[in-house]
Structure 1
């Protein structure tokens, strides 16, 4: 654990130096260092999402936007994985999750995204987010009482929330 903390402080120091040369890039580097640290320490993707959103808004078309989008994609792909485990076909699972995104991603796009995550044809940061999202969602469902029906609704609400959609 101290290794992660030490690495955080090293990255924050590098961000401080970068900030003296380019304020925006230094701030982004510091935010990404904190996000990575929280992920390494086991924070759930939903807890980190507000920081990603901040980075997304702050960077506009800059460095953070693709990473935030990858996080959304990762959560959607992880939701498809869970639906597949329940016995749904891939097309049905992808289409249900696509509806939960409010149409931001189509079912066919989701199928391709998931295939790319599973085949490690995404950026390493995105694959890490996918693996963490899968673990987090599985953990939430595992912690639910076995007699709770509607676990699918819980998953769809997680996806909708990630995409900023108020209703499923």
Structure 2
């Protein structure tokens, strides 16, 4: 119906923070129904032995970014740091042994700094759209939109949370 070229998936992960643990990618509901004991145990506990009581289910997003490393090309996902509403830096989470539809926050992950020498408040007109500084600008736009969406959701669900005394 939607002419998807990649297999859609969801990410099921612990609601209390994962540290790369308590995460599974699900492509079919039968994968959840048919979890074996080892898989259930992996989903039941996260870092420091904390038990999982609630999970989040998120739409899976394929990681189409790649970074060239000394040992070849690897799948990468941008991570952007913000202070208040300002993008202040970030990095690529990179994993050469994982695919575009897998969790990159796993043993073997590496971190490559995002090029930040030119800032990211506006695109650099004399660079190609996919040049490093313009990619950082795009990541910043997406991060600011996500921050705005989270703020609106918080205001809608917890109206008193944004008010100060």
- Highest relative contact order (Cα 8 Å, sep 6+), 1 or 2? 1
Q: TM-score, normalised by structure 1?
A: 0.28
Larger radius of gyration: 2
Whose strand proportion is higher, 1 or 2?
A: 2
Q: TM-score, normalised by structure 2?
A: 0.28
